[in-house]
Amino acid sequence: MTCSLVIVENPQAVAIAAAQRIISVLHAAIERSGVARLALAGGRTPRELYALLTHTTYRHALPWNRIEWFWGDERCVPPDHPESNYRLVAETLLSVLSPPPQQVHRMLTERNPDEAAALYEATIRSVFSLAPDEIPRFDLVLLGMGTDCHIASLFPHTRALSEERRLVVSNWVPRLAERRLTLTPRVLQAAQTILILVTGSEKAEAVRRALTEPTNIDDCPAHLLRLARGDVVWLLNSAAASQTTASSGPCPPVP
Ligand code: 6PG
């Protein structure tokens, strides 16, 4: 496992650094096995990145039709809802790249949350051709982080943080008073590469906690990345990194 920081000036530079890293990781996966399996993030941060990937520089950099598209988490809203993570990716990225529909694996939020989670888990098992107890190793998982250190929909002090059997669960989030769908910790931790994009001074405290506080996953779910099997790359702008003395390079040693 490696952990590294890339700290750049502004959100545009974060998007560029992320796009370059995504192309490199997915290209290597396709070279290796003919396919790349990618789990995408929702929220506001990745919007600029997704739009950038449709620009000529990146749009022609990959055989995008060799990718299996997944989501790391989803809100329990219809796929055309403004809050939908699927809609974010569909309207910024997929509408331009037009991958084969059978390779776009949306969480079926029109079903009840537990059913949607079970169906998504079955889809993952099928696409990865997993043995009964095998964990999928996504080639790339893209994450954001909330001001409370949550990643995907693994929020502090929620049940999903202690899930050790399932790959996908529905997770009640008291702070939001809503249910979310999310990949579980061990699926995130199994990924070959995790890119976590964090921008904005409002995230600086969470970044400081995630990178420098003693491990307490229940309090700061981003700490679960410390147990990742693959490469973890934090892509930060200087505002998000402003409460740490860290600079680009290896992550600070875990206290
Ligand atoms: C979601 C995301 C979530 C997000 C963080 C950061 O569904 O919202 O998966 O984990 O990455 O909440 O969100 P912003 O990028 O909007 O700050």
Q: What is the pLDDT of residues 90-105, one digit of tens each?
A: 999 999 999 999 999 9
Phi then psi for residue 254, to 5 deg, are -70, 125
Is the CB of residue 171 below 6 angstroms from any atom belonging to ligand 1? no
| Cβ neighbours of residue 11 closer than 8 Å, sequence gap 6 or more | 45, 48, 199, 200, 237
Tell whether the model's pLDDT for residue 228 goes beyond 90: yes
Asked whether 108 and 119 are in contact (CB, 8 A), the reply is yes
Per-residue pLDDT tens for 145-192?
999 999 999 999 999 999 999 999 999 999 999 999 999 999 999 999
Asked whether 154 and 185 are in contact (CB, 8 A), the reply is yes
Tell whether the model's pLDDT for residue 255 goes beyond 90: no
| Token digits of residue 115 | 């059913």
Tell whether the model's pLDDT for residue 216 goes beyond 90: yes
Is the CB of residue 41 below 6 angstroms from any atom belonging to ligand 1? yes
Tell whether the model's pLDDT for residue 10 goes beyond 90: yes
Please state, rounded to an integer, the average pLDDT across all residues of the chain: 97
Per-residue pLDDT tens for 114-135?
999 999 999 999 999 999 999 9
Give the rounded percent of residues in the chain with a pLDDT score beyond 90. 98
Ligand 1, atom 11: nearest CA belongs to which residue?
144
Mean pLDDT of 239-252: 95
pLDDT score, position 5: 98
Is the CB of residue 144 below 6 angstroms from any atom belonging to ligand 1? yes
| Cβ neighbours of residue 132 closer than 8 Å, sequence gap 6 or more | none
Is the CB of residue 151 below 6 angstroms from any atom belonging to ligand 1? yes
Per-residue pLDDT tens for 142-154?
999 999 999 999 9
pLDDT score, position 160: 98
pTM, rounded to two decimals: 0.98
pLDDT score, position 141: 99
Per-residue pLDDT tens for 23-43?
999 999 999 999 999 999 999
Asked whether 183 and 151 are in contact (CB, 8 A), the reply is no
d(CA 101, CA 84): 18
**Ligand 1, atom nearest to 152 Cα:** 10
d(CA 223, CA 211): 8
